[in-house]
């Protein structure tokens, strides 16, 4: 069997996933060890409308690496997958399609028909993200796939809603909320993004003060104190960025300490463009040095004004409709006008009346709808809210007492998370949409509200079935907040035994909030909850720490009585090659699927995992390309081993040998185990890039560049022999172990190659997976064996590598043709001579030399190129006729210079009495040893130089 010369990832990517999935390798049930420790990850559910982007590819890769690593390490592993119903996005998408296909609006067809359409849409097109997840190679358990609107998850949503309501933590109230006039729904603070307005203006409006003579036109003069006098008419000037809201003003406020306005407090102004008279009030909220120090108060259209209004018992005049057109209340001339048209008209009218004092350019940041970018309108509206105080305290206690969750990187996320929790406000949870979990509240004719888990329950509570359910749905993040436990079967009916039994000590504040189990015992589903909750680690982006991570912590603590996850990995953002955020509007996004096509999934995974955890990084195709090359390197190394595998098979006893084995074998085994130990360590600390670097360099540098080359002759020997078979077995076994180490990162390539190795079977599987058909993904992940670390072999191999490298250097610098064989004269102590002698064949081959002469002090002709080696050894290459004496002298001089520079730096250190006294003794010793080594080497080099002169 011979492999193609170049690895083409297509075939592997098309075949193995299906097999893995079909054979159930992804499900935790594959683990036959009933005592296996669980490991679980839940995927941050992508939107059902979503397409894979680089952020997904990154976080998915990290999760899959961890899952595959843990699975291979014998854990009972669950990687739970699911999608989010994504209320607004999905509703918008289907609305658009409805308009396009049938020229209808959702209102035209009605709620029931519309939601049915959305379900249809979901069944038809909603599977894209799942296909893409399969393409990525994620070892997720599809048998447990969840959707936030599954019946069991919806039950959990209703249960949580009802419980919070019954406790008084969910309430319905009139508040100033963030209203998106385009999506026509309320949004939570987190779904609003502040953005700089392009041409912000601050308008100064003059309100005539009553009790002064009526204003009769004319240009007003501004006095320094902000009160304007024209003739006898007094004005108070207010500054605003939203003039149209003046139509809903119900007061003008000044700071009580502000002397300019002291005498006006208690008076009234005649509100222009209306027939209303509004009071001038004093409130601490007003800052005297901003604007004119006088503020128009519009309680129904501004959060601060709302508060002021409550304090002063002001009327709340709503002048704006849900689509941001003006209401009748705004006046006949304005009713029906869009808010921006109304703004213009108000300004014009003020100007006509001579009441517009001035317009300043003004940098304002305005709230925008995160999704549709429309300017948010603060609006007084009746909505459902969650009081967060109690749950916030649970989360804060958890952080304070147990430092949980552990964030990676801890800085700055732990602090950001804590700070945010500390200033948490009530959460607006109702949404004016049809797609989502309809709020489980029913109303009777009298407007009484009945909150219940089901309509039936509501009817019972109300004593009538003549009820209407609340039309709104819940914020999508409400169901996402329950994701850690709702996906594992929690519906509020069963509670894990740990909770039912009462909490063991450490977290007393929870006890009070726990509900007794509604029904005794658990369901089948709840065993997942017991086994896999809390989940092991959450991998997500920093943009949803508040939206999602914190809320999962709060709801899990409150409703399950335990944290939702131990660790939270916050990965970085993938930027474009110019360091800009990828966005649809900038058209600078890179489609992971294109990258998969071009370089393969495994190379992409390596490139993503190879970027430091938590750090933003600019996307570079070149990086993936280098891992594509790496994949090809692995392919070809395997190709080489397979071409020379006759008689051999994977046999782990072949790499259990003693000190009598060859240096190369002992060395590669030592390197392999060192790599395995370090990779495990790196993964345990979520240092993915560290693991990638270790694997890359082990495989390429150690295994390919040195080990294969060192044992090549033995392996490719023409005549079959026991020795050859043993060497072949050793290399193929080493390769097999290396492939396992690579598997979590490069699942397709490693499976493809592993399946081709001679002698593989499910006997190689981890003990927990012996019954499964052979696959690399169920072999045991090499833990690394400290006893296989062979310092002596590593140091001896360093000497061999140094010798070969020095020869190559001389060859390159002296322009010796590859075809020219040379002689090596090596002066060295007995120990080194022995090492070189044992590796003579390899040294000759790799240095392209015809002979090597070893001696305590070798005689070398003057016409030689020379180098010094560690341990007092010298290398001379006789180059009669070939040597360029000038060049050789220059070469030697350069080396002397380098050594002397280093020497003087070290000598200075040693001269410093403080260093010698205070630095750790071993540090001082190291430097003394190094100085001695340098002195030997440079003395030798100088002798050589003298000999040339």
Q: Which candidate, 413, 381, 379, places its Cα nearest to that of 399?
A: 413
Determine if 904 is a binding residue for RNA (CB under 7 A).
no
Choose between 519 and 716: whose C-beta lies nearer to RNA.
Answer: 716
Q: Starting at the edge strand that comes first in sequence, how are the strands of the sheet with 170-180 ordered?
A: 185-187, 170-180, 377-386, 427-428
Beta carbons of 567 and 686 less than 8 angstroms apart:
yes
The single residue among 304, 523, 755, 780 that binds RNA, judged by CB under 7 A, is: 304
Which 165-194 positions form the footprint of RNA (CB under 7 A)? 189-190, 194
Which 318-357 positions form the footprint of RNA (CB under 7 A)? none
* Half-sphere exposure (Cβ direction) of 155: Cα atoms closer than 13 Å: 11
Buried b (16+ CB within 10 A) or exposed e, 107-120: eeeeeeebbebbee
DSSP, res 390? H
Which 544-603 positions form the footprint of RNA (CB under 7 A)? 546, 575, 577, 579, 581
- Using the contact rule CB under 7 A, the part of the chain among 118-126, 628-636, 776-784, 937-945 near RNA is 628-636
Q: Is 515 exposed, middle or buried (0-12, 13-18, 19+ CB in 10 A)?
A: middle
Determine if 808 is a binding residue for RNA (CB under 7 A).
yes
Determine if 812 is a binding residue for RNA (CB under 7 A).
yes
Least Cβ distance, residue 653 to RNA (angstroms): 25
- Using the contact rule CB under 7 A, the part of the chain among 112-120, 140-148, 302-310, 465-473 near RNA is 302-310
Least Cβ distance, residue 296 to RNA (angstroms): 7
d(CA 773, CA 793): 38
Determine if 850 is a binding residue for RNA (CB under 7 A).
no
Residues that contact RNA, how many (by CB under 7 A): 89
d(CA 144, CA 78): 9
Interface pattern 354-393 for RNA (x via CB under 7 A): ----------xxxx--------------------------
- Using the contact rule CB under 7 A, the part of the chain among 327-335, 533-541, 778-786, 801-809 near RNA is 801-809
Q: Is 947 exposed, middle or buried (0-12, 13-18, 19+ CB in 10 A)?
A: exposed
- Strand 233-240 with 227-230, pairing: antiparallel
Determine if 154 is a binding residue for RNA (CB under 7 A).
no
Which 730-789 positions form the footprint of RNA (CB under 7 A)? none
Least Cβ distance, residue 10 to RNA (angstroms): 11
Determine if 315 is a binding residue for RNA (CB under 7 A).
no
The single residue among 637, 676, 677, 844 that binds RNA, judged by CB under 7 A, is: 637
Which 918-947 positions form the footprint of RNA (CB under 7 A)? 918-920, 923, 930
The single residue among 206, 628, 724, 765 that binds RNA, judged by CB under 7 A, is: 628
Q: Which two tokens stand for residue 491?
A: 């519906």
Determine if 912 is a binding residue for RNA (CB under 7 A).
yes
Which 213-272 positions form the footprint of RNA (CB under 7 A)? 238-242
Which 493-552 positions form the footprint of RNA (CB under 7 A)? 546
Residue 105 CB neighbours (<10 A): 11
Which 407-436 positions form the footprint of RNA (CB under 7 A)? 411-412, 415-416, 419-420, 423
Report CA Rg, the chain: 38
* Half-sphere exposure (Cβ direction) of 28: Cα atoms closer than 13 Å: 19
Interface pattern 673-702 for RNA (x via CB under 7 A): ----------------xx--x--x---x--
Determine if 870 is a binding residue for RNA (CB under 7 A).
no
The single residue among 33, 169, 374, 629 that binds RNA, judged by CB under 7 A, is: 629
- Using the contact rule CB under 7 A, the part of the chain among 470-478, 485-493, 635-643, 655-663 near RNA is 635-643
Determine if 611 is a binding residue for RNA (CB under 7 A).
yes
Least Cβ distance, residue 542 to RNA (angstroms): 7
The single residue among 70, 533, 633, 728 that binds RNA, judged by CB under 7 A, is: 633
Least Cβ distance, residue 633 to RNA (angstroms): 5
d(CA 525, CA 513): 24
Largest CA distance in the chain: 119
DSSP 443-495: E-TT--EEE-SSHHHHHHHHT-S--EE-S-EE-HHHHHTTHHHHTTT--SS--
Q: Which candidate, 170, 153, 166, places its Cα nearest to that of 452?
A: 166
Least Cβ distance, residue 189 to RNA (angstroms): 6
Interface pattern 262-301 for RNA (x via CB under 7 A): ------------------------xx--xx-xxxx-----
**What are the percentages of helix, strand and coil residues in the chain, rounded to 5?**
50, 20, 35
- Strand 574-575 with 617-618, pairing: parallel
């Amino acid at each position: 069997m011979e492999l193609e010369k170049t690895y083409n990832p297509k075939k592997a990517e098309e075949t193995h996933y299906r097999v893995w999935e079909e054979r159930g390798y992804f499900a935790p049930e594959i683990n036959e060890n009933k005592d296996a420790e669980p490991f679980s990850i839940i995927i941050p559910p992508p939107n059902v409308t979503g397409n894979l982007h680089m952020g997904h590819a990154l976080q998915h890769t990290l999760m899959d690496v961890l899952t595959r690593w843990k699975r291979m390490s014998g854990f009972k592993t669950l990687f739970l997958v699911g999608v989010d119903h994504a209320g607004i996005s999905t509703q918008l998408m289907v609305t658009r399609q409805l308009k396009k296909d049938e020229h209808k609006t959702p209102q035209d067809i009605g709620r029931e028909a519309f939601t049915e359409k959305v379900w249809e849409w979901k069944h038809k097109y909603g599977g894209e993200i799942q296909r893409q997840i399969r393409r990525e190679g994620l070892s997720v358990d599809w048998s447990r796939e969840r959707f936030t609107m599954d019946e069991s998850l919806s039950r959990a949503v209703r249960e949580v809603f009802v419980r919070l309501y019954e406790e008084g933590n969910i309430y319905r109230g009139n508040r100033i909320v963030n209203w998106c006039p385009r999506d026509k729904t309320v949004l939570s603070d987190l779904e609003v993004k502040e953005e700089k307005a392009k041409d912000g203006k601050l308008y100064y409006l003059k309100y005539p003060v009553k009790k002064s003579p009526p204003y009769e036109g004319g240009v007003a003069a501004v006095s320094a104190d902000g009160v304007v006098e024209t003739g006898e008419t007094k004005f108070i000037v207010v500054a605003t960025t939203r003039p149209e809201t003046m139509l809903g003003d119900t007061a003008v406020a000044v700071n009580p300490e502000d002397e300019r306005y002291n005498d006006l407090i208690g008076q009234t102004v005649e509100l222009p463009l209306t027939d209303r008279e509004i009071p001038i009030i004093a409130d601490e909220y007003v800052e005297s040095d901003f604007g004119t120090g006088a503020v128009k108060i519009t309680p129904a259209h501004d959060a601060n004004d709302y508060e002021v209004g409550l304090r002063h018992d002001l009327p709340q005049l709503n002048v704006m409709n849900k689509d941001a057109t003006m209401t009748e209340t705004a006046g006949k001339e304005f009713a029906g006008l869009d808010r921006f048209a109304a703004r213009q008209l108000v300004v014009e009218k003020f100007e006509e009346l001579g009441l517009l004092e001035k317009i300043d350019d003004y940098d304002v940041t305005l709230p925008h709808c995160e999704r549709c970018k429309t300017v948010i309108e603060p609006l007084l509206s009746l909505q459902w809210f969650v009081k967060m105080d109690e749950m916030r305290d649970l989360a804060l206690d958890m952080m304070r007492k147990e430092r949980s969750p552990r964030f990676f990187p801890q800085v700055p996320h732990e602090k950001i998370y804590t700070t945010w929790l500390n200033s948490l406000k009530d959460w607006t949870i109702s949404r004016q949409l049809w797609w989502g979990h309809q709020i489980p509240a029913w109303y009777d004719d009298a407007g009484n509200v009945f909150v219940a888990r089901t309509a039936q329950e509501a009817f019972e509570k109300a004593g009538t079935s003549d009820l209407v359910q609340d039309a709104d749905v819940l914020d999508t993040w409400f169901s996402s907040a329950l994701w850690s436990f709702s996906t594992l079967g929690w519906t509020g009916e069963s509670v894990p035994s740990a909770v039912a039994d009462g909490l063991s000590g450490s977290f007393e504040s929870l006890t009070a909030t726990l509900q007794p189990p509604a029904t005794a015992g658990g369901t089948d589903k709840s065993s997942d909850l017991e086994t896999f909750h809390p989940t092991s680690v959450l991998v997500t982006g920093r943009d949803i720490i508040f939206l999602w991570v914190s809320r999962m912590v709060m709801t899990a603590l409150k409703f399950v009585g335990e944290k939702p996850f131990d660790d939270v990995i916050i990965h970085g953002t993938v930027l474009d090659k110019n360091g800009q955020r990828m966005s649809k509007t900038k058209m600078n996004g890179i489609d992971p699927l294109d990258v998969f096509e071009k370089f393969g999934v495994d190379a992409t995974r390596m490139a993503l995992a190879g970027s430091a955890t938590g750090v933003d990084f600019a996307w570079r195709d070149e990086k993936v390309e280098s891992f594509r090359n790496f994949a090809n390197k692995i392919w070809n190394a395997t190709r080489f081993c397979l071409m020379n595998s006759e008689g051999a098979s994977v046999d782990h006893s072949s790499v259990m040998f003693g000190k009598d084995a060859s240096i190369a074998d002992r060395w590669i085994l030592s390197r392999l185990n060192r790599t395995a130990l370090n990779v495990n360590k790196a993964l345990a600390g979520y240092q993915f890039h560290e693991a990638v670097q270790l694997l890359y360099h082990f495989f390429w540098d150690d295994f390919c560049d040195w080990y294969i080359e060192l044992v090549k002759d033995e392996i490719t020997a023409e005549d079959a022999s026991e020795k050859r078979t043993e060497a072949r077995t050793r290399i193929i076994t080493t390769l097999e172990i290396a492939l396992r180490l690579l598997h979590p990162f490069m699942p397709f390539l490693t499976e493809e190659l592993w399946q081709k190795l001679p002698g593989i079977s499910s006997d190689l599987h981890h003990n927990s997976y012996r019954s499964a058909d052979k696959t690399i993904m169920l072999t045991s992940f090499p833990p690394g064996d400290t006893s296989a670390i062979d310092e002596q072999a590593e140091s001896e191999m360093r000497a061999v590598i140094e010798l070969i490298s020095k020869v190559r250097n001389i060859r390159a610098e002296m322009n010796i043709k590859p075809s020219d064989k040379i002689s090596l004269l090596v002066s060295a102590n007995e120990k080194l001579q022995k090492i070189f002698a044992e590796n003579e064949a390899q040294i000759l081959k790799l240095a392209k030399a015809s002979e090597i002469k070893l001696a305590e002090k070798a005689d070398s002709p003057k016409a030689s190129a020379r180098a010094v080696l560690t341990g007092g050894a010298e290398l001379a290459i006789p180059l009669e006729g070939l040597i360029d004496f000038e060049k050789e002298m220059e070469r030697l001089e350069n080396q002397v210079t380098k050594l002397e520079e280093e020497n003087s730096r070290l000598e200075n250190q040693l001269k410093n009495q403080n260093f010698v006294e205070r630095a750790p003794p071993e540090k001082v010793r190291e430097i003394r040893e190094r100085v001695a080594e340098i002195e030997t080497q440079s003395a030798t080099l100088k002798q050589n130089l003298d000999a040339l002169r």
